[in-house]
């Protein structure tokens, strides 16, 4: 048992995977020097030739990883900030997501694209974005967004071992903020499973990333007020664990969906639609969403950033309304 931050969980898992599977390698900007968040610190020296600085070109980071994965390697690409993945959208959408489908499984791509996402770090418009909605609408790509260090470890390992392209989202605000005692033994988390982290009968909150922690904090506060929340840590966003999602909705009949991403067209819409179709008869209240406002991306100034970011207070306020409905 050791206490680990999120970034330590990631770094240690990368080191373990580089050790145990010589098909793995890391490709990304500045990764040899350790990367801007130091996720790859020390790895270039330990694994010579297997931690590779790419030129400043995101389409190539993804496209080259595709080629290497096709050849049988297990590339772990790093996109320095999720905000810069957009130039790689075409390679992910037109190529990676369809590699297996269009060859009926003759070819496949065991590759991971790791990238720091999310706000609350004074990153402004281009260092704070949530990108999951785009990739949750891309069958063929798996999207993972853990919240706790232990899950970062087990899901990153699972992502690397998965024969499909996995977008591995690391909430940058949590890198050093969230700590947890982590077992040496691999955790049980699997790709494609969500987890009911807390059980309560009054309403269900769905969240991932930083917002999962904010939701848990809100649930604590609410418990003191006699409102008992179920909190679902979604973990894998695509493909979604519909079973757990629906089970949790049916349990409480009231649901609150939380994400940092802007509201309209965000991932919460899909969750709400699923529940409104498949748990309709259990619903006791309108489906509520707490999300970023419909502006292009998070503004820089801390006052406006605070306005943008959902947090425990906004979540608790929405939950109170819902409980009272």
Partner 1 sequence: MAAVRTRRDRSQTRIDDYLLSEAQLEEMYYHMLLARRLNERMLALNRQGRAPFVIAGAGQEAAQVGAAMALKKGIDYVAPYYRDLGVNLVFGMDAREAMLNLLAKRDDPNAFGRQMPSHWGNRERHVVTQSSVVATQLLHAVGIALAAKMRNDPIVVLASCGEGSTSRGDFHEALNFAGIHKLPVIFYIENNGYAITERTDKEMAIEHVADRARAYGIHGAVVDGMDAIRVYQTVAPAVAETRGGGGPYLIEAKCYRLWAHSSDDDDSRYRTKQELEEWARKDPIKLFRERVESDRIFPPEDLDEIEQRVDDEVKEAAQWAASQPDPAPEDALGFVYKEL
Residue 273 CB neighbour total at 10 angstroms = 11
Contact string 68-97 vs its own copies (x = CB under 8 A): ---------------x--xx-xx--xx--x
**Cα 62 to chain center, whole Å?**
18
- Asked if residue 29 binds ligand TPP (CB under 6 A), the reply is yes
Question: What is the Cα gyration radius of the chain?
Answer: 19
The Cα 280–Cα 3 span in angstroms is 42
Binder of partner 1 out of 16, 21, 32, 228 (CB under 8 A): 32
What is the nearest approach in angstroms of ligand TPP to the Cβ of residue 30? 7
- Asked if residue 80 binds ligand TPP (CB under 6 A), the reply is yes
CB-based contact 229:223 (threshold 8 Å): yes
- Asked if residue 91 binds partner 1 (CB under 8 A), the reply is yes
Binder of its own copies out of 82, 272, 316, 323 (CB under 8 A): 272
Binder of its own copies out of 295, 302, 306, 307 (CB under 8 A): 295
* Site for partner 1, residues 151 to 190, rule: CB under 8 A: 163-164
Tell me which residue of 69, 72, 124 sits closest to 92, measured CA to CA.
Answer: 69
User: Which helix (DSSP H) or strand (DSSP E) does residue 11 occupy?
Assistant: helix 6-20
Binder of its own copies out of 294, 302, 306, 317 (CB under 8 A): 294
What is the nearest approach in angstroms of partner 1 to the Cβ of residue 240? 13
Tokens representing 7 are: 């970034």
The Cα 234–Cα 216 span in angstroms is 13
The verdict on whether 259 is a catalytic residue reads: no
What is the nearest approach in angstroms of ligand TPP to the Cβ of residue 84? 4
Q: b/e for 186-222, b at 16 or more Cβ within 10 A?
A: ebebebebbbebbebebbbbbbbbbbbbbbbebbebb
CB-based contact 8:37 (threshold 8 Å): no
Residue with tokens 């798996």: 142
Q: Which of 122, 126, 127, 302 is catalytic?
A: 127
Query: Among residues 116 and 149, whose Cβ is nearest to ligand TPP?
Result: 116
Q: What, of its own copies, ligand TPP, partner 1, none, does residue 196 touch, CB below 5 to 8 Å by kind?
A: none
* Site for ligand TPP, residues 186 to 245, rule: CB under 6 A: none
Binder of its own copies out of 169, 275, 309, 323 (CB under 8 A): 275
Choices 80-88, 146-154, 182-190, 226-234; region in contact with ligand TPP by CB under 6 A: 80-88
Query: Among residues 149 and 266, whose Cβ is nearest to its own copies?
Result: 266
What is the number of the residue whose Cβ is closest to ligand TPP? Answer: 84
Binder of ligand TPP out of 23, 38, 84, 285 (CB under 6 A): 84
CB-based contact 149:182 (threshold 8 Å): yes
Q: b/e for 16-39, b at 16 or more Cβ within 10 A?
A: bbbeeeeebbbbbbebbebbbbeb
Tokens representing 168 are: 């591995």
In the complex, the residues that contact its own copies under the rule CB under 8 A are 59, 83, 86-87, 89-90, 93-94, 97-98, 101-102, 125-126, 133-134, 136-140, 238-240, 262, 264-273, 275-278, 280-281, 283, 285-289, 294-297
Positions marked catalytic: 127
């Amino acid at each position: 048992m050791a206490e680990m931050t999120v970034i330590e969980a990631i770094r240690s898992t990368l080191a373990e995977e580089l050790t145990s599977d010589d098909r793995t390698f890391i490709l990304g900007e500045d990764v040899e020097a350790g990367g801007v968040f130091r996720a790859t610190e020390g790895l270039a020296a330990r694994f010579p030739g297997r931690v590779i600085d790419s030129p400043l070109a995101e389409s190539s980071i993804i496209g080259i990883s595709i080629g290497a994965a096709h050849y049988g390697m297990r590339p772990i690409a790093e996109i320095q900030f999720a905000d810069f993945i957009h130039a790689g959208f075409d390679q992910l959408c037109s190529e990676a997501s369809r590699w297996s489908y269009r060859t009926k499984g003759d070819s496949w791509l065991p590759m991971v694209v790791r990238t720091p996402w999310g706000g609350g770090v004074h990153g402004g418009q281009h260092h704070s974005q949530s990108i999951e909605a785009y990739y949750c609408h891309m069958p063929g790509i798996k999207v993972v967004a853990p919240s706790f260090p232990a899950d970062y470890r087990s899901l990153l390992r699972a992502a690397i071992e998965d024969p499909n392209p996995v977008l591995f989202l690391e909430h940058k605000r949590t890198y050093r903020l969230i700590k947890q005692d982590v077992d040496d033994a691999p955790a049980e988390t699997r790709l494609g499973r969500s987890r009911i982290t807390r059980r309560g009968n009054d309403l269900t909150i769905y969240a991932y990333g930083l917002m999962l922690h904010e939701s848990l904090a809100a649930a604590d506060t609410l418990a003191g007020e006699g409102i008992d929340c179920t909190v679902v840590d979604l973990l894998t966003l695509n493909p979604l664990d519909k079973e757990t999602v629906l089970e949790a909705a049916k349990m409480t009949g009231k649901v609150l969906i939380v994400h940092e991403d802007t509201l309209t067209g965000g991932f919460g819409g899909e969750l709400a639609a699923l529940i409104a179709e498949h748990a309709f008869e259990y619903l006791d209240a309108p489906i509520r969403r707490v999300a970023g406002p419909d502006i292009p991306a998070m503004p820089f100034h801390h006052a406006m950033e605070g306005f943008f970011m959902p947090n425990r207070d906004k979540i608790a306020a929405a939950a109170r309304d819902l409980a009272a409905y």
